[in-house]
Structure 1
């Protein structure tokens, strides 16, 4: 396969998983190359995502690295499937690649959990709310890019409306619900939308109230996207310098624990819906 000029987060992840398998087998790239009959430089390029790799070769690598986890091997083989054009590719020349990677991550996730503390979840935002979020960007975005980002965000929400919607749990801190972002009317419309979405199959909205007191983490937005096997889960963090994708084993274990603690500290789905409706009534 010819080298790529750029690799998507998914392609880089496949390479990273193959590198993990090699390292767990205690093999250097030179030793792996000798064992598998592959140029060590090619192995390095595959692991970096610069070179593609076939499904058959993934199986050869995994078996050569003494991996007996058939579920993981098949999931990695699926990641090599020929990349057909998807809706987010229409934004490749207009938006940062990290936003396209996020759309693909959500599209392929088997389940998504998110925790939000100041802004409301992107997959549950109304058009007016999302537009205001983008207007707060630093540096300031030009109006055309705001509209591109808005269109992209709304299309991301399609995973909640398709015939087989992705199971989605949104943990929202009370602070985000009570913040008068854009004024009372806009927030009322936004909260009504969230309450309505919480009635949809596969969508759970959980409120983390002020009364819960202390909670783990530093209050940053967390998205936990489950893969076909736990080893292929991914954590996405929103930071002031952009999105970060985490998938090291220790990181996944940490954020699984954090998300479980968030859920345990939150109101249940029915109580959360009542809380949101009460907030609307008092706004």
Structure 2
């Protein structure tokens, strides 16, 4: 199969995990190629995400690499199948690659946990709130760029509304609820939308109130995306230069602990909903 010109994040991750298995087995790419009946360049292209690989090939590679973790191998096998196009691919010519990759990551996630201090989570934003945010981006976006980002963001929210919605936990600081982007009417509608979404069966919204001295988070938004097995988890960070994806074991441990602590610092769901109601009344 010819190499992919634009390796999807999912295919890149599959290749990276296969490389980890090979390195853990002590095999060089040349030695692995010899045992698998492949060329060394084929191994390199698979591990870089440029070559698609079948589920059978993944299982063969895992056996060759003496991987006994059947849950991990099964999860890797589900990530195969070549370059499958999703709705997000429509935006590859219009948006930064990180935003497109994030939509793909969310689509396949087993669970999503997000923690934010300044902003409402993207998957819980109303159209008017999101548009108001995009108008604050620096350097300023052109109107057509705003509309591309807006439609992309709204489509991302589909994972919360499908027949088998992705479990979603959002931990939000009270500061984000009081920012008032777009003015009073937009802010009020946005907060009412949060209340509505908090009543969905697989959505949990928790608020960290002002005055909670145990809270030690930063203004950086964190998306913790759970894979089929913990080894396939991914952290996405919002930065000034765009999306940053982390999947190292130590990195996952660190940010899992950060999100755990932020959730523990927040009010339970019902008191969180009550606090949102009070903020609406104060607008």
Q: Structure 2 length normalisation: TM-score?
A: 0.96
User: How far apart are residue 182 of structure 1 and its match?
Assistant: 2.0
For residues 184-239 of structure 1, the C-alpha deviation after alignment (integer angstroms, 9 at most, x for no partner) is: 22211111110111011111000011222253443200001111111111111110
The answer to whether the Cα contact below 8 Å between 2:8 and 2:83 also exists between their aligned partners in 1 is: no
Which residue in 2 is equivalent to 1:182? Answer: 182
Which residue in 2 is equivalent to 1:87? Answer: 87
Which residue in 2 is equivalent to 1:266? Answer: 266
| Residue ranges of structure 1 left out of the alignment (5+ in a row) | none
**Cα distance in structure 1, aligned partners of 2:239 and 2:35:** 42
What secondary structure does 1:5 align onto?
coil
Deviates more, 1:48-57 or 1:83-92: 83-92
**Cα distance in structure 2, aligned partners of 1:217 and 1:69:** 35
User: How far apart are residue 100 of structure 1 and its match?
Assistant: 1.5
Which residue in 1 is equivalent to 2:122? Answer: 122
**Cα distance in structure 1, aligned partners of 2:180 and 2:38:** 59
User: How far apart are residue 32 of structure 1 and its match?
Assistant: 1.7
What secondary structure does 1:245 align onto?
strand
Listed as ranges, the matches of 1:249-260 within 5 Å are 249-260=249-260
For residues 82-109 of structure 1, the C-alpha deviation after alignment (integer angstroms, 9 at most, x for no partner) is: 4443222222322222222111111110
**Cα distance in structure 2, aligned partners of 1:12 and 1:217:** 30
**Cα distance in structure 2, aligned partners of 1:151 and 1:110:** 24
**Cα distance in structure 2, aligned partners of 1:165 and 1:6:** 28
Deviates more, 1:34-43 or 1:230-239: 34-43
The answer to whether the Cα contact below 8 Å between 2:52 and 2:82 also exists between their aligned partners in 1 is: no
Which residue in 2 is equivalent to 1:209? Answer: 209
For residues 96-138 of structure 1, the C-alpha deviation after alignment (integer angstroms, 9 at most, x for no partner) is: 2222211111111011000011111000001111001111122
What secondary structure does 2:225 align onto?
strand
Which residue in 2 is equivalent to 1:151? Answer: 151
Which residue in 2 is equivalent to 1:49? Answer: 49
Q: CA RMSD of the aligned region, Å?
A: 1.3
User: How far apart are residue 153 of structure 1 and its match?
Assistant: 0.5
Listed as ranges, the matches of 1:8-87 within 5 Å are 8-87=8-87
What secondary structure does 2:211 align onto?
helix
User: How far apart are residue 12 of structure 1 and its match?
Assistant: 0.6
Q: Structure 1 length normalisation: TM-score?
A: 0.96
Which residue in 1 is equivalent to 2:281? Answer: 281
What secondary structure does 1:210 align onto?
coil
